[in-house]
Amino acid sequence: MRSFAFLLPALAAASPLAQTTPDGWADGPDPNEIQITSASFSGNGCPQGTVSTSISPDKTVITFGFDGFQTYIGPGYNPTDKTKNCQLHLNLKYPGGFQFSVVDSTYHGYAQLDPGVTGTFYSTYYFSQSASDTTTTQTSISGGGIWAGGQVYTKADTIPTASYIYSPCGANGILNINNRIALTSTNSSAVGELTDDDATVAFTQQIHLSWKTCKK
């Protein structure tokens, strides 16, 4: 995995920690009270009928399996095959109030890249309630070497979402994760394939820095 460049951009400037209330910060509820109540997906990388979804019994971990999230570049391939996206929409139920959460996501796929071909996997995380606050991770693989023969790869994200859930106490938040894989090439004869075969999003490792309880 040494070939991966993993960039985690700086967080949005706003931090819940900067906000104070007369009540101060309370000890949080059990982080496992965060639950995925439902999920959906959209995008040309995940047409209906190509995705399997499973949610753990405690509703804190969701895994998507993708059969059509594949990109190709090179002679004979359609230029539109160079990039695909699949956006995941997770309906979350929170115990209430603002929170500062960490989302763990793991992606597996396959890359077979000739020299000159670069594959990049972008994941952009945002809550519907504040769609302009986004965090994007980017993993790139340069073709050649071990990738010329094809390898399975893993992309592991730990996202401090630092997000405000503006919904009223006890309401729901929607976390969106737009995953995009893309191939570029400096050699029109070179061939590349990059897939995303699965995505797992977990709320089990919450490092909850602070919670604010709602006033009744």
Ligand X SMILES: *[C@@H]1O[C@H](CO)[C@@H](O)[C@H](O)[C@H]1NC(C)=O
Residues that bind ligand X (CB under 6 A): 114, 116, 187, 189-190
As a whole number of angstroms, the distance between CA 44 and CA 42 comes to: 7
Bridge partners for 180 per DSSP: 85, 122
When the beta carbons of 36 and 191 are compared against ligand X, the nearer one is 191
Q: Give the CA radius of gyration of the chain.
A: 19
Q: Which helix (H) or strand (E) holds 117?
A: strand 117-127
When the beta carbons of 74 and 173 are compared against ligand X, the nearer one is 74
Q: Which residue is nearest to ligand X (CB)?
A: 187
Q: How many CB atoms lie within 10 A of CB 111?
A: 23
When the beta carbons of 114 and 157 are compared against ligand X, the nearer one is 114
What minimum distance in Å lies between the beta carbon of 186 and ligand X?
8
What minimum distance in Å lies between the beta carbon of 189 and ligand X?
4
What minimum distance in Å lies between the beta carbon of 180 and ligand X?
25
What minimum distance in Å lies between the beta carbon of 197 and ligand X?
24
What minimum distance in Å lies between the beta carbon of 76 and ligand X?
13
Q: How many CB atoms lie within 10 A of CB 55?
A: 16
Would you say the C-alpha torsion 18, 21, 26, 29 has a positive or negative sign?
negative
Tokens, residue 114: 């000739």
When the beta carbons of 85 and 112 are compared against ligand X, the nearer one is 112
When the beta carbons of 20 and 189 are compared against ligand X, the nearer one is 189
Tokens, residue 116: 């000159």
Q: Which helix (H) or strand (E) holds 86?
A: strand 83-93
The helix/strand/coil state of 101 is: coil
When the beta carbons of 43 and 115 are compared against ligand X, the nearer one is 115
What minimum distance in Å lies between the beta carbon of 69 and ligand X?
24
CB burial of residue 10 (10 Å; 0-12, 13-18, 19+): exposed
- The residue with tokens 């399996």 is 65
